[in-house]
A and B are shown apart, each in its own frame.
Chain A
Amino acid sequence: MSTEDKVTIQKMPTGVPGLDEILGGGLPEYSFNVIAGAPGCGKTTLAHQVVFTNATPARPALYFTVLGEPAIKMLRYQQQFRFFDAAKLNTAIRFINLSHVVLEKDLNAVLDEIVKEVEGASPGVVVVDSFRTVVRKAQMGTAELELQGFIQRLALHLTSWQATTFLIGEYVEGEIRDNPVFTVADGLFWLYQQVERNSIVRKLQVMKLRGQISVPGLHTFRITADGVQAFPRTFGLTGRVAKARNRPRLPCGIPELDAMLGGGIPEGDSLLVAGPSGTGKSVLATQFIAEGLRRGEPGIVAIFEERPEEYAGRAAELGMDFAKPQQDGKLSIIYLRPLDLSVDETMREILDAVERTGAKRVVIDSLAGFEMALAPGFRTDFRESLYRMIGALTRTGVTIVSTVEVAETFTELALSPYSISFLSDDIIRLRYVEIDGQLRKVLMVVKMRAGDHSKDIREYEITSEGLRIGERLTGYHGLITGVPDPINPMVRDSEEAPGTQDIKE
């Protein structure tokens, strides 16, 4: 059978950001699905979101409640979500209580009741919440075959009546085997709520989905006032764009550094600023953003270690006004909630901000803070996650400056504690050097993928206006070890290094 001969299975939107991508485009229309998971993992919220997204007066949704959470409580709590639309109640969405039928009668009566309601309303979406309750009651004195027959008849009828169905149940994974519900289901979506040390991480898995290719594995999701938002774990892995060699350069607000970079940072690059604490990594990144704002280029700063007002306050001390650009929508300082983040939601947040502000420049300050903000389980995949995040961000065309703290050693020139230098197109290394009893700072451009760069090692200082870079530091060898020796042993502290004099003026 050729591709053209195959039946087209239409896909229904879930209304859950990110979930359609995980499902391979949406939910297969007329499919019979199970949403499973422990109490509190978001099953009902997910179902409600699907229902409110798809229900119309012509193709309403029927929401059967069974013993679990009664409709009145659902309505009380679910209306707190933004997707809740009271105008749809009793027109596009109908709640039907099946508790009495389940309690007093048998499976046939339950089926008859559902069939009667479905044939009367011709719904596009049907939810049974909780189906586990139906089955548990039925299992008391009901043969397994009878139960299987009930589930199969229910699935057949709802599909024949062109309804996309969701059975919600509090299942544990050990129940997957030999459970007729899972055998009959076209789609099986499992929601988890994992405790990782003191952090909570929500994840979902598409365990089964007939008729289309979904993204395998565990995907993180979050429940906010907007409802469920899912973060596909393959986000950022596809569609890298080729970069032209002669791209425009983005000046970073420090003319000497721009000269060292050959005119600035190539547009669309990811630049890593590495150095130990106190060497001015954040100052450099702040100047990069400020220069962009000065040129009318919107920017985004993702921070993890301090709050936006503190960050803007530090910029103000350097003479940079970050308050007005924020008010004007030109600058977004994203403070990401620490301790239980996933990389995927961080990525989504930054990408949404890029789209919202039209940002050309992005600063991630710092990668160490980012790592600390992640839930413990995600820290083990940090390197791979950074690879995806930087890929996804640069694909949008933005230029990224990330800062990373490296422990200073006096035997090697470390570039990053994460072995991520291959992720960066360009690397600037800041480091301390001990010269004549003083702790001085030097800067060097280690790598630039797009072309030549200065090979100089230059001394610099952090002033009230930002980084000031002096001349090339000559007269020493072994500068990158941090403990250089004078080439001419007669050179002493009284003979200032060439660059230093400039800086102090």
Chain B
Amino acid sequence: MNMVTPAIRDFARRLVALEGSRAESPVTGGSEVVRVCEKLRLPLSKLAGDAGFRSLMSRAVALAKAEIPSLVAVQVRADGSMEGLDGSGHDQDMRVNGQAGIVVVAQLLGLLVTFIGEPLTLRLIRDVWPNASLAGMNTGSDEVL
């Protein structure tokens, strides 16, 4: 199964915080979590195709929901984008932009680490956030990335 270590969770939190520190992107116009996932769409679609990206997102959301029941209204659309995290949902209770949303990113990263390993996951992230300082960061295994 997908093992999301505390390090991966912290990693996800830092990526979300990184997006939060930037001006709102016109791409999603929503939460930092959605922006992180959308930024991962391009490299992941290259690796797995559009359908593969959608499958990965749906799996990450399902795993996150199992962990955080308040994410119940979060859905993955047919194009792989998320619904219910960006504040556009009808139910205000479902706008889970904070800690709960980070779990979705953490689960997505956990899936990537499971499938392609830590080094390639980190390389993929560096390609998306080239200016981000990820030095000394690791996802929880014995190795330091």
A59-B1, A156-B55 as given contacts; A1 in contact with B119, CB under 8 Å: yes
With the chains together, A122 CA to B111 CA distance in Å?
14
A1 to chain B, nearest CB (A): 7
Select which of B1, B2, B52, B119 is within 8 A of A156 by beta carbon: B52
**Which chain A residues numbered 312 to 337 have a C-beta less than 8 Å away from chain B?**
none
Cβ contact within 8 Å between B59 and A6: no
* B27 contacts partner chain A, Cβ-Cβ < 8 Å: no
* Most chain B beta-carbon contacts within 10 A, residue among A1, A7, A162: A7
- Encoded as 1 (CB less than 8 Å from any A CB) or 0, chain B from 108 to 127 comes to 00010111111110000000
* B58 contacts partner chain A, Cβ-Cβ < 8 Å: yes
The total of chain B residues at the interface (CB under 8 A) is: 22
With the chains together, A59 CA to B142 CA distance in Å?
27
* A379 contacts partner chain B, Cβ-Cβ < 8 Å: no
Cβ contact within 8 Å between A160 and B56: yes
Cβ contact within 8 Å between B114 and A160: no
B96 to chain A, nearest CB (A): 20
- Encoded as 1 (CB less than 8 Å from any B CB) or 0, chain A from 113 to 124 comes to 000000100100
Residues from chain A with a CB closer than 8 A to the CB of B116 are 7
A7-B116, A59-B1 as given contacts; A162 in contact with B59, CB under 8 Å: yes
Residues from chain A with a CB closer than 8 A to the CB of B56 are 160
A93 to chain B, nearest CB (A): 18
A7-B115, A7-B120, A162-B2 as given contacts; A156 in contact with B51, CB under 8 Å: yes
Cβ contact within 8 Å between B120 and A156: no
**DSSP majority for the B interface?**
helix
* A161 contacts partner chain B, Cβ-Cβ < 8 Å: yes
With the chains together, A5 CA to B59 CA distance in Å?
25
Q: B60: nearest residue on chain A (CB-CB)?
A: A160
The total of chain A residues at the interface (CB under 8 A) is: 18
* A30 contacts partner chain B, Cβ-Cβ < 8 Å: yes
* B73 contacts partner chain A, Cβ-Cβ < 8 Å: no
* A148 contacts partner chain B, Cβ-Cβ < 8 Å: no
Cβ contact within 8 Å between A8 and B117: yes
A122-B62, A160-B48, A160-B55 as given contacts; A5 in contact with B115, CB under 8 Å: no
With the chains together, A162 CA to B116 CA distance in Å?
13
With the chains together, A4 CA to B1 CA distance in Å?
21
* A99 contacts partner chain B, Cβ-Cβ < 8 Å: no
Cβ contact within 8 Å between B143 and A4: yes
Select which of A7, A119, A157, A159 is within 8 A of B62 by beta carbon: A119
Residues from chain A with a CB closer than 8 A to the CB of B48 are 156, 160
With the chains together, A161 CA to B2 CA distance in Å?
10
* A240 contacts partner chain B, Cβ-Cβ < 8 Å: no
B78 to chain A, nearest CB (A): 11
Q: B112: nearest residue on chain A (CB-CB)?
A: A7
**Which chain A residues numbered 115 to 167 have a C-beta less than 8 Å away from chain B?**
119, 122, 152-153, 156-157, 159-162
Residues from chain B with a CB closer than 8 A to the CB of A160 are 48, 52, 55-56, 58-59, 111
Select which of A30, A119, A122, A156 is within 8 A of B49 by beta carbon: A156
Cβ contact within 8 Å between B55 and A5: no
With the chains together, A7 CA to B114 CA distance in Å?
7
Residues from chain B with a CB closer than 8 A to the CB of A6 are 117
**Which chain B residues numbered 14 to 51 have a C-beta less than 8 Å away from chain A?**
48-49, 51
Residues from chain B with a CB closer than 8 A to the CB of A156 are 48-49, 51-52, 55
Residues from chain B with a CB closer than 8 A to the CB of A161 are 55, 58-59, 62
* Most chain B beta-carbon contacts within 10 A, residue among A59, A153, A156: A156
A422 to chain B, nearest CB (A): 48
A147 to chain B, nearest CB (A): 15
Q: B76: nearest residue on chain A (CB-CB)?
A: A119
Residues from chain B with a CB closer than 8 A to the CB of A152 are 49, 51
A145 to chain B, nearest CB (A): 14
* Most chain A beta-carbon contacts within 10 A, residue among B1, B2, B143: B1
Cβ contact within 8 Å between A162 and B1: yes
With the chains together, A161 CA to B107 CA distance in Å?
12
**Which chain B residues numbered 55 to 78 have a C-beta less than 8 Å away from chain A?**
55-56, 58-59, 62
Cβ contact within 8 Å between A5 and B143: yes
A115 to chain B, nearest CB (A): 8
Select which of B55, B114, B118, B142 is within 8 A of A157 by beta carbon: B55
Cβ contact within 8 Å between A5 and B119: yes
**Which chain B residues numbered 84 to 108 have a C-beta less than 8 Å away from chain A?**
none
With the chains together, A4 CA to B118 CA distance in Å?
10
Q: B57: nearest residue on chain A (CB-CB)?
A: A160
With the chains together, A7 CA to B62 CA distance in Å?
23
Q: List 16 A-B contacts (CB under 8 A).
A: A1-B119, A5-B117, A5-B118, A5-B143, A7-B113, A7-B117, A7-B120, A30-B114, A122-B62, A156-B48, A156-B51, A160-B48, A160-B55, A160-B58, A161-B55, A162-B2
Known contacts A152-B49, A156-B55; 6 further A-B pairs (Cβ under 8 A): A4-B143, A7-B118, A156-B51, A157-B51, A157-B55, A161-B59
Pairs A-B, 5 closest by C-beta atoms:
A7-B117, A160-B55, A156-B52, A157-B55, A5-B119
